[in-house]
Amino acid sequence: MSTETAGKKKLPLAAQIFIALLLAIGAGLLLQSHADFANDYIKPFGTIFLNLVKFIVGPIVLFSIMAGVISMRDIKRVGKIGGMTVLYYFLTTAVATAIGLLVANLFKGGFPALSTESLTYTAAEGSKPMDVLVNIFPSNFLTPITESSMLQVIVMALLIGFAIILLGEKADKAVEGVNRWNDIFMKCMEMILKLSPVGVFCLLCPVVAANGAMIIGSLAKVLLAAYVAYLLHALIVYSATVSTLGGTNPVKFFKGMLPAIMFAFSSASSVGTLPINMNCTNKLGADKEVSSFVLPLGATINMDGTAIYQGVCAIFIASCYGISLTAGQMLTIVLTATLASVGTAGVPGAGMVMLAMVLASVGLPIDGIALVAGVDRIFDMGRTTLNITGDASCAIIVSNLLRKGKKNKA
Ligand code: ASP
């Protein structure tokens, strides 16, 4: 990467984000004894940036999915792409949980025996598996947007998109309107993304300032287990699927994904990373029609990193309480963690709330969440990174499979 001293050529956004990331780590380490300062005066700018990103995400998901559906002009085609996508998402998430459980079992011997006496954790309400299903369907037109319930926004976008297709020529003006609004919100997003280096710095610096020393503390082993599992999943599963099904060199894939990866790591929000993920994925050769459908869906329902985290934490909490899980319980964890990750919102900290559901499903004490809550953000940065990388791999794969299908037909 070249730094332009003369002339006015700007550093590419990816380089700017990377520099911001390094500066944030440096500044965070220096500010460790002034973590309050970082929290009170640096984090708010990160929050402003994240607010802007959240503001734009609702309209982006709504219009990009509508535009994606309309451009396919055929409900059957939407069903085909949707089917492939959901299948890939479910399979990779189940594999992710299994990898998480496997790695955590390998690390189990090294998990510290923490005192579990004074733990209290109040689980959030409504963490039953069927709630996930019921909550997908909106009961009114506005709340999905005002409350950023992305699954409901997706259902709305699909319904309206289908209606437009079914109306045919009568809805020509609506097609034009949806496409123009999609362009407008994309432009807004581009403007907001220009601020991402500042956002990354202001979000990450307070985290490093507050947690820098703690990482070397007693939770290092479980954090390490989670990160090893995240890495294994990315390097084995995504490399394999992207190269065999996606026809893309894995090195090229991860390299192209770097801006999105760095952004996800700093922001811990899949939904927030959506716009930048779309950019990277399209540059890597995914069809716009596919990525505008697959990525918003993935940012909402596909969370491989979250599933790994839930598997690792279940084993960790069990071993802290001196409980040994049976094979049947492990299988239950794979199933519930896959479901729980579907119900996890793509925002910071959401996966920890859904961990309660996973623990409850195998009778582990929910209070155990308090053991890992202190460093949740560190888990979250890695799991979000994996979550969005999984979404991108799916967009590449589905695009490639569709192209192949077309060629075979011709
Ligand atoms: N922060 C994660 C994401 O946005 C969700 C989670 O907390 O696991 O993907």
3-state helix, strand, coil in the chain (%, to 5): 80, 0, 20
Cα–Cα distance measured from residue 324 to residue 321, given in angstroms and rounded to the nearest whole number: 9
Record the pTM: 0.79
**pLDDT tens-digit profile, the chain (410 residues):** 343 344 456 777 767 877 888 898 889 889 989 889 999 999 999 889 878 877 887 888 788 788 878 887 788 888 888 899 999 999 999 999 999 999 999 988 777 655 555 455 555 554 566 776 787 899 998 988 887 776 788 889 889 999 999 999 999 999 999 989 988 987 887 788 788 889 889 988 888 888 776 555 567 888 999 999 999 999 999 999 999 999 999 999 999 999 999 999 988 889 889 889 999 999 999 998 899 889 988 988 899 999 999 999 999 988 888 888 888 888 988 988 888 887 777 778 888 878 888 888 888 888 788 778 778 888 999 999 999 999 999 999 999 999 988 777 76
Q: What single DSSP character describes residue 366?
A: G
Distance CA 128, CA 123 (A): 12
Distance 133 CA to ligand 1 centre (A): 19
Ligand 1 contact, 353 CB (< 6 A): no
Answer whether 384 contacts ligand 1 (Cβ < 6 A). yes
Nearest to 149 by CA among 360, 386, 350, 373: 350
pLDDT at 126: 47
Is residue 318 lining ligand 1, measured as CB closer than 6 Å?
no
Cβ burial, residue 220 (10 Å; 0-12/13-18/19+): middle
**Ligand 1 center to 174 CA (angstroms):** 34
From 89, 306, 378, mutation site for ligand 1 pocket: most ligand atoms within 8 A of C-beta? 306
Nearest residue to 150 via CA among 337, 340, 301: 301
pLDDT at 171: 92
What are the φ and ψ backbone dihedral angles of 6, each rounded to 5 degrees? -85, 175
Q: Which residue has the tokens 């598997």?
A: 311
Find the 267 Cα to ligand 1 centroid distance in Å: 10
Amino acid at 297: L
Ligand 1 near 358 CB (within 6 A): no
* Cα 202 to ligand 1 centroid, rounded to whole Å: 19
Contacts of 331 (CB under 8 A, 6+ apart): none
Q: What one-character-per-residue DSSP string does 290-350 give?
A: HHHHHHHHHHHH--HHHHHHHHHHHHHHHHHTT----HHHHHHHHHHHHHHHHHS-SSTTH
CA of 381 to the centre of ligand 1 (A): 8
CB 382 within 8 A of CB 230: yes
Closest C-alpha to ligand 1, atom 6: 351
Whole-number Å distance between alpha carbons of 265 and 276? 13
Question: Atom 1 (ligand 1): residue with closest C-alpha?
Answer: 348
d(CA 401, CA 219): 42
Q: Which SS3 state, helix, strand or coil, does residue 7 take?
A: coil
Backbone torsion region of residue 326, taken as left when φ is above 0, otherwise alpha when ψ lies between -120 and 50, otherwise beta:
beta
Can you tell me the distance from the alpha carbon of 293 to that of 398, in angstroms, rounded to the nearest whole number?
11
Cβ of 307 below 6 Å from ligand 1: no
| Rounded Cα gap, residues 121 and 372, in angstroms | 11
Token pair for 401: 């499979």
Given the CA of residue 388, which atom of ligand 1 is nearest to it?
9
Q: What are phi and psi of 108, to 5 degrees?
A: -50, -40
11: left (phi over 0), alpha (psi -120 to 50) or beta: beta
Alpha carbon of 390 to ligand 1 centroid (Å): 13
Which secondary-structure segment (H or E) carries 353? helix 350-361
Sign of CA dihedral 330, 96, 375, 220: positive
d(CA 380, CA 142) in angstroms, rounded, equals: 30
Which atom of ligand 1 is found nearest the CA of 272?
A: 4
Instruction: Output the CA 219–ligand 1 centroid distance in Å.
Output: 20
Q: Is 148 in the pocket of ligand 1 (CB under 6 A)?
A: no
In the reported structure, the alpha carbon of residue 84 is separated from the centroid of ligand 1 by a whole-number distance in angstroms of 23
Please write down the long-range contacts of 186-191, taking CB distance under 8 Å and 24 or more positions apart: 186/60, 186/64, 188/56, 189/56, 189/60, 189/275, 190/275
- What is the Cα–Cα distance from 112 to 230, expressed in whole angstroms? 21
